[in-house]
Amino acid sequence: MAGSGETRYELYYWPSIQGRGEFIRLALEDAGASYVDVARLPDSQGGGVKAIMRLIDGKQGGLLPFAPPILKVGEQLLSQTANILQFLGPRLGLAPANDEGRAAVNQIQLTIADFIGEAHDSHHPIASSLYYEDQKPEAARRARIFLAERLPKFLAYFEKLLARNGGGGYLVGDALTYADLSMFQVQAGLAYAFPVAWARESLRHPLLVALRERVAARPRLAAYLASERRIPFNQHGLFRHYPELDAV
């Protein structure tokens, strides 16, 4: 897809999960951007987890990242998902033209970041460095409250954003932004992790569900989702399916 002179993006993210990197992948894929998912290349081609570690170790210069996802554009390194998306948004045609609209998209993206952090912590309430199996009672307790209180509260908020925006089914303005792509991904993750709770909640949030379907039907995104580039959900990412946490 790379034309001559076109910007070439290098994404550095864990090669075996969707995780937070998927929010970046979706933006790049929807825009048909030219990018390399570096850590998914073999080690012999400079890929693998080692490629991420070289940036985290700070041996390559640029602003030090705390954790992936990391985007490399020329010599500039960017990290933090919402920060990367804010950089990419205008360049990929996925952000409003005016500053107020861009701040709105950023605000929503940051609220999505809070939400997925809570979704993650429902299976890892004590520490990411411990196995789920080592924090099961705590996870059961946290997940129960997450599903009863937090999930409905966040979804009602996002649904209300769609209802208040007269823009034809997008979160901000009258055209798709990266926040809409992220909102698709959040729903896909919830449907994987909490199928029982999601079946109930999705009935209450028709505008969100319509947004998810609209995004999934975009030609480039549909092609991506059907490709091998889309890593399947699994038990190592942000969203994990433990049936015992999905009880009502």
Enter the tokens of residue 21. 């990197």
In whole angstroms, how close is the CB of 45 to its own copies at the nearest point? 28
Q: What is the crossing angle of helices 178-193 and 206-216, to 10°?
A: 110
Q: Does 207 bind its own copies (CB under 8 A)?
A: no
- Which residue type, as a one-letter code, is found at position 33? A
Evaluate whether 187 touches 212 at the Cβ level (below 8 Å).
yes
Residue appearing with tokens 């990367």: 84
Q: Does 129 bind its own copies (CB under 8 A)?
A: yes
Distance from the Cα of residue 189 to its chain's centroid:
9
CA distance 104 to 95: 10
Enter the tokens of residue 216. 């999934």
Query: Based on CB atoms, which residue is closest to its own copies, 204 or 229?
Result: 204
- Which residue type, as a one-letter code, is found at position 121? D
Query: Based on CB atoms, which residue is closest to its own copies, 138 or 246?
Result: 138
Q: Does 53 bind its own copies (CB under 8 A)?
A: no
In whole angstroms, how close is the CB of 99 to its own copies at the nearest point? 8
Query: Please, which of residues 58-117 interact with its own copies by CB under 8 A?
Result: 58, 63-66, 76, 78-80, 82-83, 86-87, 100, 103-104, 106-107, 110-111, 114, 117
In whole angstroms, how close is the CB of 55 to its own copies at the nearest point? 13
- Which residue type, as a one-letter code, is found at position 60? Q
Judged by phi (left if over 0) then psi (alpha if -120 to 50, else beta), residue 146 lies in: alpha
Query: Based on CB atoms, which residue is closest to its own copies, 127 or 199?
Result: 127
Who contacts 123 (Cβ-Cβ below 8 Å, separation ≥6)? 132, 139, 143, 240, 242, 245
Residue appearing with tokens 């997008």: 170
Q: Does 151 bind its own copies (CB under 8 A)?
A: no
In whole angstroms, how close is the CB of 222 to its own copies at the nearest point? 30
CA distance 229 to 220: 12
In whole angstroms, how close is the CB of 133 to its own copies at the nearest point? 15
Q: Biggest alpha carbon distance in the chain?
A: 55
In whole angstroms, how close is the CB of 145 to its own copies at the nearest point? 4
Q: Which stretch binds its own copies (CB under 8 A): 22-30, 119-127, 209-217, 227-235?
A: 119-127
Give me the residues that bind its own copies (CB under 8 A), please: 58, 63-66, 76, 78-80, 82-83, 86-87, 100, 103-104, 106-107, 110-111, 114, 117, 121, 125-127, 129-130, 138, 141-142, 145, 149, 154, 157, 160-161, 164, 172
